[in-house]
Amino acid sequence: MNDNLGFLGGPADEVAPRLLGCELERTIETPDGSATLRGRIVETEAYGQTDAASHSCKGRTPRTEIMFGPAGFLYVYFTYGMHYCCNIVTGPPGHGAAVLIRSLEPLEGVGIMSANRKDRSGVAVTNGPAKLCQALMIDKRLNGHNLTTAPLKLITRPALQQVEIVQTTRIGISQAKDVPWRFYIKDNSYVSKF
């Protein structure tokens, strides 16, 4: 793994807040050549191996196999019949854990992201896990992708100050609702729900 992504080998609940402020850079093919879509991570959720809300909690299956692999890879899953969500695998090999990326703040290629989102604008482009996957054109084909390589890279940024981060319970799950493993950047308007 890339040296500056070494922190991903830690526990999901420590990696999740550390990912806030880091960026995802997606390169895509266009009629003219290529384009770059880039966004800042503003909201994450941790999912651990012994966590009833995590897909990995019941052990390895073909779908969750990627979560048990080395850190720094992408776990993309499909849900509700029409949505993709993307996660960054964390922890050592053999440990099934990941961090769900819940929302981004667009930094580059906003016009293309908006077009991918049925011409929606503003926060509606990326303020939700399935929305940002649509905006960045992330689907099943990127499951298992190495985040140090094109066409999707994780760019490390300095860790935020503790005071800039809010920690609360996770959203949209039915199991282990009380576990406070959701993290977001304070006062950022792209956070999915306040």
Q: Give the interface with DNA as residue ranges (CB under 7 A).
A: 45, 47, 53-56, 58, 61-64, 67, 75, 77-83, 85, 87, 98, 100, 117-118, 120, 124, 128-131, 170-175, 192
Nearer CB in complex with DNA: 28/57 = 57
Pairwise CA distance, residues 140 & 149, whole Å: 17
* Residue that the structure tokens 């509606």 belong to: 124
Query: CA gyration radius for the chain?
Result: 15
Pairwise CA distance, residues 104 & 24, whole Å: 9
Question: Measured from the CB of residue 158, what is the shortest distance to DNA in angstroms?
Answer: 25
Pairwise CA distance, residues 48 & 57, whole Å: 8
C-beta separation of 48 from 37 below 8 A: no
Nearer CB in complex with DNA: 4/95 = 95
Pairwise CA distance, residues 97 & 47, whole Å: 6
- Beta-ladder partners of 77: 85
Nearer CB in complex with DNA: 28/124 = 124
Question: Measured from the CB of residue 34, what is the shortest distance to DNA in angstroms?
Answer: 25
Nearer CB in complex with DNA: 5/116 = 116
Question: Measured from the CB of residue 94, what is the shortest distance to DNA in angstroms?
Answer: 17
Question: Measured from the CB of residue 97, what is the shortest distance to DNA in angstroms?
Answer: 9
